[in-house]
Amino acid sequence: METTTRHRSGLALAGLLAADGLLHLYWATGATWPAADSRALSLAVLGIETSFAPPTVLPLAALTLGGAAAVLAHSRGRGGMVTRAVTGAVAAGMGVRALAGLGWAAGVLDSPPDSPFHVLNLALYTPACLGFGWAAARLALVPAGAGRRPFGPVRARRAG
């Protein structure tokens, strides 16, 4: 994978994960945007009724924000095998979510077709997980430390 592509992929993945983490931090305050209440939020985001209380969403925020930092570091050739492994875990997690999304879309998994979750799953969640999961998998295949630049300016050597 070319360095510029690796950097852009890492930045896009880290941005998505960071946005998700910040959204979970926001929900930990008790806010329910973009839904009217926590029940509607739960049904739109997960398709089931569940808690969005701090003990539930704060660990998810930490997980996604940590993943964002690791993916960005790996895309820049930093962090060695640890950031590469976390990037692989991000790819696996997105892949599993994408497969579940396809199951919901195909009707194999239970999801009422007229629910907000069903629409969001088709239009946003599954396509994002497919695309970003693929990008994370490609990025995870890059060896740890690849493309890392030395500190200081890089100077061309003169021939002869």
pLDDT in tens, 29-71: 999 999 999 999 999 999 889 999 999 999 999 999 999 999 9
Mean pLDDT of 126-131: 97
Q: Which of 67, 65, 70 is nearest to 81 (CA)?
A: 70
Is the pTM of the predicted complex or chain greater than 0.85?
Answer: yes
Quote the tokens at residue 26.
Answer: 């926001």
Helices assigned H by DSSP within the chain: 3-28, 38-45, 54-75, 80-106, 116-120, 126-140
| pLDDT of amino acid 59 | 98
> By mean pLDDT, which of 24-28, 98-102, 156-160 is the weakest?
156-160
Q: Give the mean pLDDT of the chain.
A: 91
Supply the pLDDT for residue 151: 53
CA–CA dist 73, 84 (Å, integer): 9
Annotated domain spans of the chain: 3-140
